Structure formats: structure tokens, C-alpha cells
Structure 1
Amino acid sequence: MKKFISILLILVMVLGVAGCNVKTKDDVKNNTQDTATSGDSSVKPVDIQILSMSSNEKDVNIVRDQLAKAGFNVKLNIQPDYGSFTGQKEAGNYDIAISGWTTVTGNPDYAVRSIFTTGGDYNDYGLSNPELDKLVEEAASETPEQYKETYKEFEKVLVEDNAYIIPLYSSLKSQAINKDVLKADSVRLSKSRSLPWEEIDFVDQSKRTSSPFIMSQTMSSLTSMDPIKGNDGSINIINTNMHVRLVNLTDDDEVTSKGSLSYNYVIEEGNQEYYFILRDNVKFAKVVDKKAVDTGELVAAEDVVFSMNRAKDKNSVPDHRTYSLHSSMDKIEIITDLASLEGFKESGKETSVKSALEAGLPSEIKELVADKKDVNNAAGKYQVVKVTTTHPFPQVLNYLAHQSAGIVSKKQVEAINTYDVAKYDKNKDIAYGDQSTVTEGATYNNTLTVSGPYIMLYKNDYEVVFEKNPGYMARTEHEPRINRVEVKFIKDLDSSLSALRSGEIHLLYSVPEDKYPLVEGDSKLTLQKRPSNAVSYAFFNLLGNSEFSDENLRKAVLNAIDQDQILAVYNNLKIKAYSTISTLVDTGNVHKADPAKAKEYIQKYWDSKK
């Protein structure tokens, strides 16, 4: 999320954000706790500083105790929120940090590329290993049947051989619903995909236009409404609901065209060319006088090409957060030669690409057009976009379902982003999607033009408010049911749960495990839960002269951490994990603690210093 791996975690929806100006170790004495002593006098102790957010206090305490028993002198650097955590990480005030990652695209490449490859957009802690880089690329070109062994070897290099990360556990995904207000079966809980709002409905459907659907989140500072610049718990649900994509994910992580900009998608033989035939019932919305307005402009192929090209270009915007997800795309183009689609076969089948694209359309394809003004699906005039990848890479479809692949308006983004990216000054340049432009007050100038089911009207210190896009799939099953959505900013999770129980909010996303009994005991509420793609782990500071660049120290930490003890503290409502791909690929790798080995590695470290 780094923003870093931990912040990317869709679980970080439960964290608050505040500023942090701390940049040196001396500046953080008030937030740093000294645990004073090692638990083992048989080995010379090694100092270790653990960085974490206060929301992970339970994990920190368990890890601290286990490391102390192994022979470490443990100091805790506990920060109240993501902003201060990030400031401390950037200042290098840690040896190891408690973190996490949620694979919101449902594919294993996402679980490794950004955080473990050299130069990955969330690898800002110094990890660089050519063997890991090679294995990531090798697995990316393979089918699920093939990549299991490759990812198994990747995990071995990452964890067993080098102890670059310390796996802790994977989590359940959960949400609590006021079933007296919302139809529980209209509220989806997907393994990866963020909560879609358009399907949510009231028990009393007469309230659709008169009452808002209300939920909460702890993070009140929103990274960016530009989908390629925001990829963390403050914005993932929001951007997912403001930008339509070429494809979506089902609740079980299967790629689907349902509810997306495309009627169908087709993979050409060879797994390197991907075709998408676009709908003509999705139009951009804008805000006028704090109301959602249909611009009448079709979300079309030229917007798709523009959006995908900027998504894969690291230099298209300052502070690009998601470019590595889309680096596999080589060429994005509009196809107008209908006859050519007859000559290409669908991957693994005898049907042509044209036939596959045509399945279930409102009418047969008579013409492919480039200009959005010429689109008329009822008359057989369609648009087709083709994505060609740099190499065979079926997982590209999962990335195209990610919120960062949301379609933006070419016309509007180019009109707003007139600054020189290389000379961008955040203090004076206004970028498309900046939080300041939607915040009530002197800076308010809402220039959003969105393609998704909802558009943000405004935000303030207490809430962010949305209205349905009147031009989004009107009169279809995908038209948003509820007219208005309000997201309340409630930093304290106990307060959020109280708000749910009192009826102030209708849904609480990401319920802590220790609150499950309280929710289940309330007759007004229903609890949804399922295994998620969220994995908690710890990573080391490998930059500069960090002592933990020493493999022996990292392996000492790895062998000191006992997952069984961690799961026991959580009443076995957590699940064992080996790496960030544990929830996606069953490699068979299992982490086992070995306290004796932990002490041996500490001694090896000291011996190397002689």
C-alpha cells in the first residue's frame, strides 16, 4: 500500500491517516518504546527495532516476545497511523517492519512483482535479487498448471534461502451489515475485488432516491482520485466505484465481462493478444453545483487506449503508484478491420475471435468504428480494443480488472494535467484527481469526469459524498440501485462498530476477529466472512549500512517466529501463510519455527564480526 506493502493492504481500511514530519531517530523518542532486554543470556544480544502502526499492536507484542526469547534486544517504534509509519520508514528508523499485502487482483504475479522485484513500485526497502526477478518473469508467462512449481521455487529463494520476509499469517475478509436496512444478499463480499456499490439495495426499495447508503472508513486523507495514483486503503473502494474497467473479477477471482465496459473479451491463440468489444451504454459523469450530471459523452475506445497507455507509463504522472502492474502491455490499439478478426482463433478453441466477441451481443457486428460518434450497437456498429502484451501473459486480465485500470476521460485529463511531469511541483501544480479539488472550502473545484457507477461530489473532515452516474448503464441490471452514498470518516474501529449498531452507518467493512461475537450477537446485524488474499508479514530494512543486510540475522528472526503462537492469540481465526502468494497458489511450503536455530544464526552473526 510505500505507501508500501502494508499500506496497500485492503485491510488497511481500518487504519487512520495523519501527517508525520518526523525524519530522524531523535525526533521519535516519544513514539519509541524500549523493551529493555533479551530473554536469553546464552548468546550475545543483538539490537533490533520493530516499526509498526498502533493498529498492529497485538502482532508487535507477539513478535517482540518471540524475538526477545531468541536473543534480541527489542525496541518498538509504534506509530499511530499510516502517514507517520511511512515517515519513519522513509527515514530508515527501523530494522524490521510489520506490514502486509492484499492481492486485490486475484493473481499471483500481483502478489510478488511490485514488492519483491528489483525496482518494483512498492519495493522501497532495498531488496534486489536477480534470481527472484527471473522467477517472477518465468512464472508470469506460464499457465496456472505450470507456474505452481515456479512460485514454489520463488518462495524458497525469498523465505527459506534468504529470509527477506518473515511470514506471519493470512486473514479472513469480513463485513458487518445492518440487515434491517440493507438487503444482505445485495451486498457482495469478494475475495479480491473491492466492495461494488451499484448492486447494494435497501430492504425498503422506496428509499433508493430519498436515503443514502452509509458506510465508514478510518482513513480520511484520500491519496488520489486518479486511479493510477491511488492504490491503498484510503481509495481502493472509492476508485473502484468511480471508474469502469475492461473486465471485472467475480467474487471467487475469475475474470468476467459482467458489469464491465466490455460485452466480451477474447484471448487469441498464443496468449499474447487480447480483444475487448465495448458497450455503448456507459457515459461519463461530471459534477455541477455538487450534483452528478450525465455529460452525454460515451466512454469509448479512445479513452481506453489513453487510459491504458498512461497506466503502463511510469512517467505519465508524478507519483505513479501502479505502473508495474501494467508493464506487460506493449501495445493498445483500436481495431477497425472486421475481416481480420475472422482469421484469428480463440486460444484453445476452433472458434474465430470475431465469433467469440459476437456471442450474446445486442446485434451482430456489421462494422467496427474508430470514432465514438459513430458507435451504435443496435445498428451493429461497435468498437474493439486490442491489447498486445510483451510476452504471453494471461494474468494481464487480472490487472485490467484492478482499480488502477479504471477508464478516465482523455479529454478531461489532458485538459487538467497541463503541467510538465518532470518539473511537477506539488505545492503549486494541480493534478487531475487531487484531493484538494474535491475538499469543501477555498480549494474546491471538482473537475472529476468519471466512467463508473458513482461520482464523488465533495469531501470534508467528516465524510465523502457520492451520487450515482446517471449515464451508467441506465435501465440495465447494472444501473446503480441507490442514488447517494456517504462514507463517514471514523478513525476508531470501536466507534465504527458502535455507529453500525446504533444505525448511524449501514455497513462496516473489515471487522476485526475479536468483534465477531459482538456482531453475531446483535439481531439487527449479519456478519459475512471468507478467506481473503491478505497476508501479514514483516520485511527488513536492507538499505545503506543496515545490520539486517546480514543473512544470518534475518534467518535468526525467521526461525524465532512461531506462527502457531500467533494463531492461538487470534483464537485460530487467522490462517498460516508462507508468503504473499500463499492464499493464491498451494506450493506446499510451510514455515516452522526453530528457536535453537535462531540462536545459532545469532552466534554466526557475531562470529562473522571477529
Structure 2
Amino acid sequence: MKKSLLAILITLVVILAGCVNTKSDVADKGNDNKDVKTDDSAVAIELLGMSTGEADMNIVRDQLIKNGFDVKLNIQPDYGSFTAQKDAGNYDLALSSWTTVTGNPDYAVRSLFKSDGDNSIMSDEEVDKLIEQASTETEEEFTKTYKQLEQRLVLDKAYIAPLYNSFKAQGVNKEIVNADTVRLAKSRAIAWESIDFVDTSKRATQPLIMQQPIGALTSLDPIKGNDGSINTLNTNMYVRLVNLTDDDKVVSDGSLSLNHVIAEGNQSYYFLLRDDINFTAVTDEKAVDTGERVGADDVVFSLNRAKDEKSVPDHRTYSLHESMEEIEVVTDLAELDVNQSGSEVTVKEALEEGLDAKISELVEDKNAADNAAGKYQVVKITTVNPFPQVLNYLAHQSAGIVSKKQVESINTYDVESFDVNKDIPYGDQNTVTEGAKYNNTLYASGPYILSHKNDYEAIFLKNPAYMTGTENEAKISNVTVRFIQDPDSTLSALRNGEIHIFNGVPETKYDLVEGDSKLTLQKSDSNAVSYLLFNTKNRAVSDSEDLRKAILYSINQDEILNYYQGNKNKAVSTVSPLVDTGNEVVADPAKVKEFLEAYNSSK
């Protein structure tokens, strides 16, 4: 979440795309290898992906055929149909990717590979044990544990087959947008509030035009989605307790907190809240100040529902927040007289750093807070075990702060008997889609709110009550997000001035952006890893470790990097961009032959 994803997030989103068959019957169209002659005894493999990943699918297909496999491509036109095929089990391998948008390695594995992870389709007790062990360790300690985890996940069991680690790049129309104001963070989604025009007089009259591939939005409720359709949108709609810098450091800057502090023991986390953000709503396609302040009660409500698997139907992000045991409002000043972790400074002193007014009183009622007078709200989070990585999760879009009053007024249904045909939950995309069902009930705590959308674009409006008068106030009044799936079409739109920023320029198109005098290319490392995910049910690869390893050692990452002109890095797992484990996967035709022979003899 995450983080623009060029390949496929494996988040399981309930989006149905037509009739899905229980057995694979993908038409030969899109199956580019139909004329390739293979041995009749070759093992048949079905590779599932989207049209946007067709180049990768073709490379993998060719490598597998060269190693004795018969490959069928199942190419789907969009994310919804891909997910429907995946849910139906119509694949042996699914082209997948994951971006660790929180900047911490626990996020890179917990949701994907833990037995109860909300995006996991596998179960391995040893993998579970190593994930939990690493989560309690410091950065100095966890490298060895993640090395063992990667060894088990990839080299020993071949649950995934890595392809590459991507760079992150975006093209900016520098004639319209001031490129110096456009951030390119390693992990977090692009922040809109800092972006400004070259001609600042156009802030109120000209929309900033962005792009993303996916137009079917999972949910505008931040806890109900963790995929490329909503990560950027929800990141800009909901404020969080902390943020990530462009190089993945956790800070309070631009967040709901003026300061945050870890207490001695690394289980208690304190957040001093600011008092200059109100929720905004949409009335007659205009953003209006609701007059409701974003406060501690909303934080407690939001984070309790984030960590509770049963708080909403189809909860997609609870595993990211299950480390939190208790979220509470602190009203006793004496509770702050404990030491900061690794310091003789008290929590109170640390929270007061840089404040114009020292803390004289802690208040429970958010409307009683008055930072200028020394009256503040403090939220305390206690984790089940010492877990400093909890701060990274609190920077994730799923930890966005929603209005307790508004969400409770909308979500009046019974979770256990939720009826998708009758009940309309908070954040349902139908409520913001033009047409008969339009009924925008969103309350945004962030710099922007979604006004309305259609199949072509989504229109966002500036929150008029978000940190006004500060450097964090949004500069541009309106943001339009165009839904353009094809990268070539997106690049053409950027070059023609139809969009202003293309977040996610493919590596093969860098030269076109750099060669256009109107554009500038911003590039950095990223935490995005593409890999092949094995089906774990009702397929030969589900049961045969030998077959999975034969596929694993068929993948030649050097050939893939050559195709991308060196604009990819090698990877072993989703942890690769975050922790140097020293592990490596090297293509080996001899091992492929050995494992295929073992597989065939076991049948």
C-alpha cells in the first residue's frame, strides 16, 4: 500500500469481472506461445497476469519453455478480471508485485506470507515463526532472521520465484508544474499537498492532473483496501499520526501529531495532537468545512477498528495493526513523567520539543484543545510486545484517521450478516460514482477529498480546514486523477500535456522522458519487487516442491535486467530492497533438470 504499482499487487480485492469459471478455459488469444513446439512430455504451466505485465510474462514464458515446460499465458485486461481468475484458481503462477510502502521489513512479509495474513494464500509454521521473531528484534538483530526467512520462503520451499526489484520514476511536465515541489518518496505514495504550479496564480483555477492505472476503487474506507487502486488516493484523503520521509524515516512532520515519543521499554508510544485540522465533506461538488475537529476520539476509534478483523466486512489491513494492544487518551500529566526510550529525557520534555507553548494541561474533549494556550490532547498506544516497527504501520494509509461520528452513522449494518446487495458501507465507491447511486458521505481528515468519479477520472477538492496558514496546507485547489491503464498511452498523455505527472514511468521509457524538453524525469530506488506467486491449491505446483524449484531455477534475472537496460535490480524476496541478507537465486539448468526428473518420478 501501497506506493504506484506497475505490476500486480496480490491484495485479494472483491471485484468481479464477468463470469469466472472454476476450471481454466482461457482463450488462445493473448497466448503468444501457441505456435511454439514443445515436447509432448513437457510439464504444462499456466501463467496468469495482466496485459500491463505482458512483457514480463513473455520473458518468463520463454525461459520456462527453454527449460522444458509447456507454458500457457492467461492474460487478463485489468486488475478486476485478474483477481477474479486468481480467486477461481485458474493459474499455476501469478505475476505479482509488492511495494513496501511503510519502509519496514515486517510489512514486506507479514501480510503476504504469514498463515493468517490478509493477503496470504500459504501456510508454513516455520515461516510464521520467523516473521514473528524478526518483528521483535532491532535492526541490528533482524538481518540474520530475515536471511533465514528468505532461505525458507524461496530457496528451501520455493513458495515464490523472484523476478526483480524496480526503480521508482516519475515524469513531470516542468513547464506547468514546479518540479522542485514534487516529491519522489521511496515508499509512501506521492503527496499532493506540496505540489505547486510554475505559475502560482493558477492554483485556484487550474486542476493538477495526475494518473493511475486502476479506476475501480476497492474502498475509500482506508482499512478496507491495500492496493494500487486506493493507496495514493487514501493517503491524500486521510491524515495519519506519523509520516514517512522520502527516505523512509518516521517523522511527525505534516501529520496529526506535533511530536511523537517512544517510552522506555519500547511498548508505549505517545502522540501529541495538533488542533488545526477539521474534517471536510462534499456538498454540491464543493468541499466544505464540517466544523468537526480531528481529535483523539477519532484516533482511538480509527486505530481500534484498524486492528480488529471483525470491525468491517472484508477487512484487508488488520494484520498490519494487530501489534497494538491498547489505544487510549492520556489525561493525567503525571503519566508523561517517564523516560524516553534510551534517554534521560522524559516523555513530556520530548513531546514539548519545538512547541511555542509548553504542555500545561491534557484534555479529553477535542474541542477543549487549544495548543496556543498549552492545552493538548495526547494519545498513547501500547503494543503487545516491544515493536518499534509499529510506527511504520501508523504511517500507512490504512492508519488514516476517519470521523468516529460519521463512520458510525453510516455503518449501521451488522457485520456478520452484511449483505453486499443491500448494505452500503462507508467508503463504497458507488457513493462517489456519478449516476443514480451517487451519495457522497465521505469525511476526509487529509488535505483533499474525493468529490466524484466516473470511468474516466476522479475529481478531488482541497480540504479548506487542513492546517491552514502552515507549510502543510495544500497549494492547489483541485486535483484530477485520470484512469489510464496503458503505460504508453499515459506517456503520450504526459507529452501532450493531458496530464502533468506520470508516477510510474516504465524503465524502457526513461529515454523518451529525458529526451523531451518539456519534461523532467525523477528517479530513485524503490521497495517494489516483482515475483511469481505459486498457486497453493489444487495444482501440481501446490503439492510438489520439486516442480516449484524447477520453475524457480528456470528464471534468469540477468536476462530480465538486460531487457530493462539495467534499470532493475536483482531480488530474492520482497525483503530484498530493505535488508541485505546475502542470499541469491541463480538460474541453473542442471538443477531444473534434476528437480523435473524428481517430480516426474514421483508422479
Deviation at 1:573, TM superposition (A): 0.7
After superposition, give the CA deviation of every residue in 1:113-158 in whole Å (9 maximum; x if it has no partner). Answer: 011010210013xx11111100000000011111011000100011
Contact 1:31 1:79 in 2 (8 A): no
Cα distance in 2 for residues equivalent to 1:18 and 1:567? 34
> Given that residues 139 and 151 in structure 1 are in contact (C-alpha distance below 8 angstroms), is that contact kept between their aligned partners in structure 2?
yes
Contact 2:3-2:232 at 8 Å conserved across structures: no
Rounded to whole Å, the distance in 1 between the matches of 2:526 and 2:340 is 32
Structure 1 position 266 matched with structure 2 position 261: yes
| 1:20-59 matched pairs, under 5 angstroms | 20-25=18-23, 27-30=25-28, 33=31, 35=33, 44-59=41-56
Secondary structure class of the residue paired with 1:228? helix
SS at match of 1:246: coil
SS of 2:98's partner is strand
Aligned to 1:381: 375
Which of residues 204, 211, 231 is equivalent to 2:206? 211
Distance 1:543 1:313 in 2: 28
Instruction: Choose from 549, 559, 567 the match for 1:555.
Output: 549
* Separation in structure 2 between the aligned mates of residue 38 and residue 229 of structure 1, nearest angstrom: 43
Cα shift readout 1:283-317 (whole Å, capped 9, x = no counterpart): 11111111001112110000000000000001111
CA 206–74 in structure 1, closer or farther in 2 if over 3 Å, else same: same
Contact 2:204 2:476 in 1 (8 A): yes
Shift, 1:382, TM fit = 0.4
Corresponding residue for 1:411?
405
In structure 2, do the counterparts of structure 1 residues 106 and 480 end up closer, same or farther at CA, with 3 Å as the change threshold?
Answer: same
- Aligned partner of 1:161 among 150, 153, 156: 156
Residue 104 of structure 2 corresponds to which residue in structure 1? 107
The answer as to 2:292 corresponding to 1:297 is: yes
Residue 442 of structure 2 is aligned to residue 442 of structure 1: no
Letter in 1 for 2:231: N
Gap regions ≥5 residues in structure 1: 2-7
1:130 aligns with 2:125: yes
SS of aligned partner of 1:297: strand
Separation in 1 of the partners of 2:541 and 2:200?
A: 61
Show CA shifts across 1:16-52 (max 9, x none): x9824222335533556383699886x9421111111
Q: How does 1:48-447 map to 2 (within 5 A)?
A: 48-124=45-121, 127-342=122-337, 344-447=338-441
Provide the residue aligned with 1:588 in structure 2: 582
Counterpart AA for 2:183: R
Alpha-carbon distance change, 13 to 502 in structure 1, aligned in 2, over 3 angstroms: farther
- Aligned in 2, Cα 1:441/1:485: closer, same or farther, shift over 3 Å? same
SS in structure 2 at match of 1:583: coil
Question: Quick one: which amino acid aligns to residue 320 of structure 2?
Answer: L
- Aligned partner of residue 482 in structure 1, secondary structure: coil
Q: Per-residue deviation at 1:543?
A: 1.2
- The equivalent of 1:5 in structure 2 is none
Per the alignment, in what secondary structure is the counterpart of residue 145 of structure 1? helix
Q: Distance in 2 between matches of 1:103 and 1:397?
A: 14
| Residue 502 (structure 1) aligns with | 496
Selected match of 2:567 from 573, 593, 597? 573
Maintained 8 Å contact 2:136/2:386: yes
Task: Provide the C-alpha distance between the structure 2 equivalents of 1:547 and 1:585, rounded to a whole number of angstroms.
Answer: 29
Q: How many pairs align?
A: 598
Letter in 1 for 2:85: Q
Q: Which amino acid aligns with 2:271?
A: F
- Cα distance in structure 2, aligned partners of 1:448 and 1:32: 40
CA distance in structure 1 between the partners assigned to 2:220 and 2:245 by the alignment: 24
In structure 1, distance between residues paired with 2:167 and 2:539: 37
Give the 3-state SS of the residue equivalent to 1:51 in structure 2.
strand
Residue identity in the other structure for 1:247 = V
Distance in 1, Cα, partners of 2:319 & 2:287: 33
> Does the alignment pair 1:470 with 2:493?
no
**RMSD value over aligned CA atoms?**
1.7
In structure 1, give the amino acid aligned to 2:142: Y
Alpha carbons 1:216, 1:489 under 8 Å: kept: yes
Q: C-alpha offsets along residues 527-577 of structure 1, whole Å, 9 cap, x if unaligned?
A: 001111000000111113544321100111111111111111111111100
Give the 3 Å change call, closer, same or farther, for CA 209–547 of structure 1 in structure 2: closer
Matched, 1:491 2:485: yes
The residue aligned with 1:458 is: 452
Moved more, 571-580 or 542-551: 542-551
Whether the 8 Å contact between 2:8 and 2:50 is mirrored in structure 1 is no
1:14–1:550 Cα change, 3 Å? closer
Q: Report SS of the residue matched to 1:33.
A: coil
Task: Please list the CA deviations of residues 421-455 of structure 1 after superposition, one character each: whole Å capped at 9, or x if unmatched.
Answer: 11111111110011111111111111111100001
Inter-partner Cα distance in structure 2 for 1:99 and 1:296: 43
Letter of the structure 2 residue corresponding to residue 445 of structure 1 = N
Q: Would the aligned equivalents of 1:38 and 1:74 in 2 still touch at CA under 8 Å?
A: no
Residues 181-206 of structure 1 deviation map (CA, whole Å, 9 limit, x = unaligned): 11101000000010000000011111
Q: Select the residue among 504, 514, 518 that pairs with 2:508.
A: 514
Question: What SS does structure 1 have at the residue aligned with 2:536?
Answer: coil
Matched-pair contact (CA < 8 Å) for 1:36–1:73: no
1:332-382 deviation digits (Å, cap 9, x = unpaired): 00001101211x111111111111111112301011011112111111110
Asked if 2 retains the 8 angstrom alpha-carbon contact of 1:9 and 1:101, the reply is: no
Shift of the 26–164 alpha-carbon distance from structure 1 to 2, 3 Å rule, reads closer
Q: Give the residue type in structure 1 aligned to 2:31.
A: Q
Contact 1:39 1:68 in 2 (8 A): no
Superposed CA offset, 1:198-243 (max 9, x none): 0000111111111111112221111111000121111111100000
Kindly state the Cα deviation for residue 492 of structure 1 after the two structures are TM-superposed. Answer: 2.6
Q: Percent identity?
A: 63
CA shift, 1:13, in A, is 8.1
Greater displacement, 27-36 / 331-340: 27-36
TM-score, normalised relative to structure 1 = 0.95
Give the aligned partner of residue 598 of structure 1: 592
SS of 1:78 mapped into structure 2: strand
8 Å CA contact 1:44–1:603 kept in 2: the answer is no
Give 1:251's aligned amino acid. D
Query: Any idea what SS the aligned residue of 1:508 has?
Result: strand
**Secondary structure of 1:29's partner?**
coil
CA distance, structure 1, for counterparts of residue 441 and residue 570 of structure 2: 45
Relative to the length of structure 2, the TM-score reads 0.96
1:215 alignment partner, SS class: strand
| Structure 1 contact 38–69 (Cα < 8 Å) conserved | no
